[in-house]
Every structure is written in C-alpha cells, then in structure tokens.
Structure 1
Amino acid sequence: MFPLTFVGAARHDPPHRAVPCAGVLLRAGIAGFASPAEDYAGRSLDLNERYIKHQAASFIFQVTGDSMEEYRIGEGDYLVVDRSITPRPGHIVVALVEGELTVKAWVRRGQYDLLCSGGERYPPIPMNDVETQIWGVVRSGHVEFPV
C-alpha cells in the first residue's frame, strides 16, 4: 500500500500570515534579470487563503512511499485533502482500502473503477473487489526542499 501520515486538520480560524509574493513568473535557465525584490514590494499572499478552500473539511497528510511519483507526489510531500469535494474518476484521492489510508488516482476503465498508482510498478486496485471508501480529494501537494 501507500501509507499516509495524518498531520492535522486545517484550522477554522487560521491567522493571516502574509508572505511576500513576487509578481514575476519564473523560467528556468534564464539569467541576467532584474532583482525580484523590486517587483514584490507591497504584494503578499496568504497560503491559507490560496490552498485551503474549505477549512472545516480540509486536512493535511504527509506522504510515505514512492508509488505516486509519476503524479509528482513523492516521499515526504504534504497533501491538502478536501472532504467537501464530491470525488469522481480523474481525481487524485485519499481512500480507505481495507482499513488503510492510501493516495491513488481514481480511474474508470469501462465499467471498472480502479485506484491506480503511477507507472507499472504497482498494480491497480479494483474498487469493486476490495472494501474501499473514498475519504477525500487531494486539492494540492507541497514539496519541502532540503536547505
């Protein structure tokens, strides 16, 4: 399986913590541009407002394992999971599979609903053949880089 670690629920009254936000789009491989500090003077972004759309139904999980790397979800990443979104095929979901939380892509192939990992290393889980419940929809994923 692909276990998740529950980190916590989104706060109902998160404090406003504005982070300076550059109004510049970044492109890799280009050098010699003006200082980004000039462009974000006076601009800010509250990450709670950006990533937590339904506070009472949002939860944070940390990922363990490598089965979703093809979906750009890797070991140690944090996922914002929203239980207020009606899940449907095509979503990345957190599901209870035989009592264990896992993150997978919900794929419909003909009449079959499958929970799929990225790539061929891990077989799909047929939702009709095992005890499965969709717990929530992954709204976003966040990577913390070592510094």
Structure 2
Amino acid sequence: MSRIQLIGQAPSSPPRLDIPCPEVLARAGIAGFASPAEDYAGRSFDLNERFIKHQAATFIFQVAGDSMEEYRIYEGDFLVVDRSITPRPGHIVVALVEGELTVKKWITRGQWELLCSGGDRYPPIPMNDVETQIWGVVRSGHVEFCV
C-alpha cells in the first residue's frame, strides 16, 4: 500500500527559480561544422511554471510504500497534487480511504469504481464499498528534477 504525507501547500507567490535547460538539438544529417556558439545557446525554465498551474489548489505530498511502483511512483517521491482538476477515471489520484490518504489509479470496471495499485500485489479498493473521497489529482511525480 502506498500512503502519502502532506508536505505543504504551494506558496501563493513562489520565488522564481530558473533552472538552466540547454537546448539539445538532434540533427538528421551533417551539413558542415556546427557553430562554436551553439554550445552557449540555451534557455531556462521555472519549476513553478512547469509543475504548479493552480497555486492555491496545489499541494506537495511525499510517498511512503511500494504499491505504485509499476506507475513509476516510488517510496520517497514527491507528488504535485492539484485539487482544482476535476478527477475522472484514468487519473492517478490522492484519495481519502476510510480516513487515510493514499495514492492510486482510479479505474472504472462496469458499475464498479476502483482505486488500483500498479500491480497484483495489492487488491483494488472498491470505492462503492468503503468511505472514499477523491482528494486531488496527481499532476506530476518524481519531482527530483527529471523533466
């Protein structure tokens, strides 16, 4: 089972954090020598612009557990969760299941609404049978700068 812990809410006016992001060009063919100045061409991007679309509704959680590894969500990962997104089946969501926060994929099978782990090690949680509330939608995981 993967449990998550709330780390905090995204600040209402986070400081701009420019990260160097060199432009990597893939060439289809070689047509002479590259310009030496191309090594210095680059751009930067702000992590807040990349991951936080709705600041007042965005929260950061940390994952504990291994049930979502098949979806590449690992113990210790940080998740950016947006409460302003309307959750729907197919989303990876943070859900409150009988008072405990967890991260699962919301799947519909016939008339059943299920919260599913990434593999067969953990059984699906039928939302029809237990007290469940979808808390927010995971916008991004692995916020260890692998964009």
Specify the code of the residue in structure 2 equivalent to 1:83.
Answer: R
Does the 8 Å CA contact 2:79/2:143 hold for their aligned counterparts? no
The CA RMSD over aligned residues, in Å, is 2.0
Quote how far apart the aligned CAs of 1:25 are. Answer: 6.6
Separation in structure 1 between the aligned mates of residue 25 and residue 7 of structure 2, nearest angstrom: 31
* Residue ranges of structure 1 left out of the alignment (5+ in a row): 27-33
Shift, 1:38, TM fit: 4.8
Deviates more, 1:37-46 or 1:58-67: 37-46
Structure 2: distance between partners of 1:131 and 1:42 = 50
Q: Is the 8 A contact 2:22 2:42 kept in 1?
A: no
Instruction: Give deviations 1:96-139, integer Å, cap 9, x for gaps.
Output: 00000000000000110000001100000000100000000000
Give the corresponding residue for 2:122: 122
The answer for the alignment partner of 2:134 in structure 1 is 134
CA distance 1:49–1:144, change in 2 (3 Å): closer
1:8 counterpart residue number? 8
Give the TM-score taking structure 2 as reference length: 0.86
State the 1:45 CA deviation: 0.5
SS in 2 for 1:14: coil
8 Å CA contact retained: 2:82, 2:139:
yes
Q: Aligned residue pairs: how many?
A: 136
Structure 2 distance, partners of 1:39, 1:92, is 39
2:69 maps to 69
- Give 3-state SS (helix, strand or coil) of 1:119's partner: coil
Identify the range of structure 1 (118-127 vs 15-24) with the bigger mean alpha-carbon deviation. 15-24
Q: Deviations over 1:33-54 (max 9, x none)?
A: x9xx955645110000000000
Task: Trace 1:1-147 onto structure 2 (pairs within 5 A).
Answer: 1-24=1-24, 38-39=38-39, 41-144=41-144
Tell me the distance in 1 between the aligned counterparts of 2:40 and 2:105.
37
State, as a whole percentage, how many aligned pairs show the same letter.
Answer: 79
Q: Structure 1 runs of 4+ off > 3 angstroms?
A: 37-42
Query: In the TM superposition, what whole-angstrom CA distance separates every residue of 1:49-93 from its partner, at most 9, and x where no partner exists?
Result: 000000000000000100000000000000000000000000000
User: Looking at CA atoms only, which structure, 1 or 2, has the larger radius of gyration?
Assistant: 2
